[in-house]
Amino acid sequence: MAFYYDEPSHTFSEYLLVPGYSDENNIPANVSLKTPLVKFKKGETPKITMNIPLISAIMQSVSNDTMAVALAKEGGVSFIYGSQTVEAQAAMVRKVKSYKAGFVTSDSNLSPEDTLADVLQLKEETGHSTVAVTEDGTASGKLVGIVSSRDYRVTRMEPTLKVKEFMTPLKSLITAPEGTSLKEANDIIFEHKLNSLPIVDKAGKLVAFVFRKDYSSHKENPDELLDDHKRYVVGAGINTRDYETRVPALVEAGADVLCIDSSEGYSVWQKRTIEWIRSKYGDTVKVGAGNVVDAEGFRFLAEAGADFIKIGIGGGSICITRETKGIGRGQATAVIDVAKARDEYYKETGVYVPICSDGGIVHDYHITLALAMGCDFCMLGRYFARFDESPTQKVLVNGNYMKEYWGEGSARARNWQRYDLGGSKKLSFVEGVDSYVPYAGPLHDTVSVTLSKIKHTFCNCGALDIQELQKKAKLTLVSSVSIVEGGAHDVVVKDTNVAN
């Protein structure tokens, strides 16, 4: 006879936090949202600690290099999607790692014989207004000048005008020799009121740029997540089929952490993948696994050697796994069950394996609930797909701007590796949909509001960090009537878009 759980599984919307005592120290400014990303032994410090408990989903419509940079600036980690060629994914990782090393490899380069039209096209492709002009038009060619937006006026110049006619030539530029420290470079920038400083070698070849905006960006983003070399931290998704090729390429590209992307992680395929990584790299390569929804699944992946474990099957807004296969569990119940297993494993072994709630986040407060229930951080797809920094198109639908958003199991993505059970290399049926989500502008603006809500709720519970919240949190199940009561009711709500 099949095993039956005594209680039904619940979603986050069926729970509320009951306030705890708040003293004078419980103010949002005092709340820390730091959280471990990878496992560690008792008494040791995690290899990677995030400054906010948010990571972006391993999806074509969510996580590319642009998203990775934007989220790292806020203190979280993006996992660049793996349903692309190994070379393309590794190139995205390299872009992130070179973006904020202080010394940035130029990705906008032209030769003197190129035209204004080429400059405008390159600016459209990269979004960068500073173009290095080298003899051969490459990032490492001999520097002969620079083109910035101050060097041309589109309305008064012909598109066919050659770059050499309007660029700022090398003789008018201030450069610094290879070997200049980042502090020295920034001092030169401020002393000479520059926006960028080219670094050149003894042969006059371009090595890198140092940008004023990077210095300012660090001041504006105090929580940005950097590695030991002051580069942004970035993750990457892998699968259980081509890991012997993909993992080495991603490691070489500089990925800080990997994660096996799968709809269901309690499998021999994930165990084999982790074992291969451990045999080749030992503990130096960090790899998360999942997804699971119960204590058995957690224990299996923890013993296999996973650095963190993701929770959730069928709870994503674009996921229809529960509809197509009848597999899954209410996200809140899954988190509570796995968190208990994580704590028991920690007591037994002295090894703390962080857990991630993946899916089921509809409202910002669901993140706080997930943290209170025991998870260390949350993976979000729909939430991040709405922003400028996601890789999808912004389109006009019925008079409103939307962003495209599709699941990895949809007919559009056809990421069969994510749903692989060792059979034929194809997606036999879809487990995700193709959709739109409301456009929400720049990531920073909305993430700031979300984090503010989380910190305020921490204070309502008398907690100043995630660990304290998990100890002090009091959670209550709510009835359907209570859910209705929690929103605006019995009133006529004014149109908030109308100015007072």
**Residues 285 and 314: beta-carbon distance below 8 Å:** no
Token output for 73 = 């600036």
Token output for 271 = 């165990």
User: Assign residue 179 a region: left if phi > 0, alpha if psi is -120 to 50, beta otherwise?
Assistant: left
Active-site residue among 246, 418, 459, 461?
A: 418
Q: Classify residue 48 by its DSSP letter.
A: -
For 320, phi and psi rounded to 5 degrees?
-125, 30
Active-site residue among 259, 299, 319, 382?
A: 319
Has 259 been annotated as catalytic? no
Residues 6+ away with beta carbon under 8 Å from 240: 260, 262, 267, 269, 270, 272, 273, 417, 420
Has 418 been annotated as catalytic? yes
**Residues 358 and 293: beta-carbon distance below 8 Å:** no
Whether omega before 460 lies within 30 degrees of 0, making that bond cis, reads: no
Among all chains, which residue has been given the structure tokens 């990782």? 93
Token output for 497 = 């878009």
CB atoms under 10 Å from CB of 441, counted, come to 11
* Coil, strand or helix at 358: strand
DSSP 159-197: TT-BHHHHSEEGGG---EETT--HHHHHHHHHHTT-SEE
**Residues 382 and 406: beta-carbon distance below 8 Å:** no
Residues 6+ away with beta carbon under 8 Å from 193: none
Cα 340 from Cα 5, distance rounded (Å)? 16
Among all chains, which residue has been given the structure tokens 């080298």? 134
Q: Classify residue 45 by its DSSP letter.
A: P
Cα 247 from Cα 253, distance rounded (Å)? 10
Among all chains, which residue has been given the structure tokens 């096996």? 260
CA angle, residues 420, 422, 423, in degrees to nearest 5: 90
Return the active site residues: 319, 418
